[in-house]
Amino acid sequence: MLFGTVVGSLADKRGRKRACVTYCITYILSCITKHSPQYRVLMLGRVLGGIATSLLFSAFESWLVAEHNKRGFDQQWLSITFAKAIFLGNGLMAILSGLFGNVLVDSLKLGPVAPFDAASCFLSIGMIIILSTWTENYGDPSENKDLLTQFKGAAAAIAADEKITLLGAIQSLFEGSMYTFVFLWTPALSPNDEDIPHGFIFATFMLSSMLGSSIASRLLAHPPPRVESYMQTVFMLSSIALLLPVVTNLLVAPSNVKGGSISFSGCIQLIGFCIFEACVGIFWPSIMKMRSQYIPEEARSTIMNFFRIPLNIFVCIALYNVKALPMTVMFGMCSAFLFVASLLQRRLMVIAEIHKSRSQDWLNMEEMDPEGVPLNG
C-alpha cells in the first residue's frame, strides 16, 4: 500500500516497459531473500514483494492498453487478450506452477526455497523478452510534473468522473472479498481438522477460474450483453456463493468429531467456493475491459494503484481481526460487500448508458447543417 503505490505510479512518468523490468528485478531480489534466516532480510523481501505486486497489477496492463491503442488494433481484440491472459496465466500456469513446485520440493528433495529459485529463473527469462521485444510507452512524461502533482491529478480525475470512482469502489469491494476468501476457505472446509485434499481443491478452484475466464471471453467477444450489464449478475452470484457458509452454519448441525474426511456442510460450501472462483475468472478480464474504457491514459498506472489503497487497508484490517471475528461474520461481511458491488455496478451501467446516449446525440447534431438538414442527405 505504501511503497507499491508510489513505485507503481512512477510507471506513467518513467515508462511502463521500464516499470515491468523493475517488477522482474524487484521480485527476483524478493525471492533471493528467502535464503536468509534473518527476520530483517525476510521483511525486506516482503517489502520488495509488495512493490512488485503493485507493478504486476498496474504496469503490464497499462503497457498493453497503450501499445494496443498506439498500433490501432481493434478494441475487441483487447477484450480477447485479457480473457486469454486470465485463462492461461491465472489459471493454467497457476496449476502447472503448483505441480512444478511440488516436484522440486517433494520429488527432487531440493528444499522449500527451490520454487523461489525457479521463479527467479522464469522472471529472468521474462525480463529478457521484455527488454528485447517491447517498445516503451508513457502516460504523462512531462518533466514539470513531480510525483505529488501526479497524485493530485489522478485524485482529481477520480473525483471528477463518477464512472472512475464507481469502478475503483467496485474493484476494491470485490478484490477485498476475494483476498479475504483466500485466507478463509481452508478453515471453513476443515473446522474440526478434517483431512481435506488441499492441492486437489486448489486445482479445482483454478479450473473453475479458467471456466469463468472462458465464459468471459465469449461474453466480451459477442456483446450484447455489455460488460457493465452482465457484471451485475456476476457480483450478485458471487455474493450468494460466499453466503453459503453462513447458511450452512445455521441450517446444518455442526459436527464435533475431530478429523475424518470433509463434512456434508463442507461439500456444500465447496460447491459455493467453486462458483465464486468461476466469478473471479469472469471478473478479471471484465474489470480490465472497463478500466481500458474509463481510466484516462495519461494517469492509468497511478489511478490503478490508487484503487489498491482501500483494498490493501481492508485486507489488513480483515486479517488482523480474523481470529477475533467468527467465520460466519467474515463470510457475511464479504457477501455484503459483493452485494454492494452489484448495486454500484448497476449505477455504473446507468451512467455509461446516459453518457453513450449523449455522445450519440452530439454526433447526430454534428451531422446536421445549421438549418437542421442532414449533411449526408
pLDDT tens for each residue of 194-240: 888 887 898 899 999 999 999 999 999 887 788 999 999 999 999 99
Rounded to an integer, the average pLDDT of 22-37 is 97
Query: Is the pTM higher than 0.75?
Result: yes
Residue pair 133/237 in contact (Cβ under 8 Å)? The answer is no
pLDDT value at residue 370? 55
pLDDT tens for each residue of 91-124: 889 888 888 998 898 889 999 999 999 999 999 9
- Number of other CB atoms surrounding residue 255 within 10 Å: 14
Rounded to an integer, the average pLDDT of 15-28 is 96
pLDDT tens for each residue of 59-85: 999 999 999 999 999 988 998 899 999
State the burial class of residue 359 (Cβ atoms within 10 Å of its Cβ: 0-12, 13-18, 19+).
Answer: exposed
Amino acid at 34: K
Question: What is the rounded (10 degree) CA torsion for 265, 271, 277, 282?
Answer: -140
CA distances for 326 relative to 7, 39, 81, 206, angstroms: 36, 31, 40, 27
pLDDT value at residue 377? 47
pLDDT tens for each residue of 326-374: 889 999 999 999 999 999 999 999 998 888 777 766 666 666 655 555 5
Instruction: Copy the grid coordinates of residue 217.
Output: 471471453
pLDDT tens for each residue of 237-296: 999 999 999 999 888 876 666 777 888 888 999 999 999 999 999 999 999 999 999 999
pLDDT tens for each residue of 177-194: 999 999 899 989 988 888
Percent of the chain with pLDDT over 70: 92
